[in-house]
Chains A and B, each alone.
Chain A
Amino acid sequence: MKTILSLMSLPVIAVLVLGAAPLCVVVVWSFWTWDPSTYWIRPELSLAGYAAIGEAGRWTVLLGTLFKAVLAASFCVVLAFPLAYAIRFLAGRRLALVLMALITIPFFTSYLIRAFSWRLVLGRTGPVNEALQSLGLIAEPLDWLLFSDFAIMVGFIASYLPFAAFPLILAMQRVEPSLLKAAQDLGAGFWRIVGSIVIPLTLSGSFAGFLFVFVMVIGSQTEVQMLGGAGAPIVSIMINDVMRVANFPLAFAISSVVLICVFGVLLAGNRIFGLARLFEGMSK
Chain B
Amino acid sequence: MAIAIGIDGVSKRYGDVQALGQVSLDIRAGEFFTLLGSSGCGKSTLLKLIGGFEAPDTGRLTFDGTDMARVPASRRPVNTVFQDLALFPHMSVGENVGYGLKLRGTAATERRRRVADALELVALGGFEDRDVSLMSGGQRQRVALARALIMEPGILLLDEPLTGLDERLRQQLRDEFGRLHKRTGATFVLVTHNQDEALTLSDRMAIMHQGRIVQTDTAEGFFSAPANGFVAQFLGLEPLLVPERVEDGRAIVAGQPIPVGEARPGAARPVVALRPDRLRLDASGTLELKVETVRFRGLSCDLRLSFSDGQTLTLSAPPEARHDHAVGQIVRIALAPDAALLIPPDDTATAGAQPAP
A residues near B, CB below 8 A? 176, 178-179, 181-189, 192, 196-197, 200-201
Contacts and interface: CB of A to CB of B under 8 A. Distances in A.
Nearest to B95: A196
Main secondary structure of the interface of B (DSSP, over half): mixed
Main secondary structure of the interface of A (DSSP, over half): helix
B125 to A, nearest CB: 21
A181 B52 CA distance: 10
25 contacts: A176-B84, A178-B82, A178-B83, A178-B84, A179-B88, A181-B73, A181-B80, A181-B82, A182-B82, A183-B88, A184-B53, A184-B72, A185-B51, A185-B74, A185-B78, A185-B82, A186-B74, A186-B103, A186-B147, A186-B151, A187-B75, A188-B74, A188-B99, A189-B74, A192-B103
Contacts of A178: 82-84, 86
Contacts of A187: 74-75, 100, 103-104, 151
Counting from the closest, the 3 A-B pairs by CB-CB distance are: A186-B100, A182-B86, A178-B86
Given A179-B88, A182-B88, A188 B82 contact: no
Interface residues of B, number: 24
Contacts of A192: 103
B90 interface: yes
A268 B350 CA distance: 66
B99 A183 contact: yes
B89 interface: yes
Contacts of B148: 185
Nearest to B159: A178
Contacts of B151: 186-187
A205 to B, nearest CB: 13
B103 A182 contact: no
Interface in B100-132: 100, 103-104
A198 to B, nearest CB: 11
A185 B75 contact: no
B11 interface: no
B79 A185 contact: yes
Nearest to B104: A187
A188 B103 contact: yes
A73 B336 CA distance: 80
A178 B51 CA distance: 13
Nearest to B53: A181
Contact of B88 (A184, A189, A197): A197
Contacts, number: 58
Contacts of A201: 89-90
A192 B72 CA distance: 15
A189 B104 CA distance: 11
A15 to B, nearest CB: 31
Contacts of B99: 183, 186, 188, 196
B132 to A, nearest CB: 12
A186 B82 contact: no
B79 A186 contact: yes
Nearest to B102: A196
B298 to A, nearest CB: 37
Nearest to A203: B90
A240 B78 CA distance: 65
Given A186-B103, A187-B100, A187-B104, A181 B86 contact: yes
A206 to B, nearest CB: 14
A243 B79 CA distance: 67
A182 B83 CA distance: 11
A181 B100 CA distance: 13
Contacts of A185: 51, 53, 73-74, 78-80, 82, 148
A281 to B, nearest CB: 10
B7 to A, nearest CB: 19
Contacts of A200: 90
A176 B88 CA distance: 10
A179 B147 CA distance: 13
Nearest to A197: B88
Contacts of B72: 184
A184 B104 CA distance: 12
Interface in B55-97: 72-75, 78-80, 82-84, 86-90
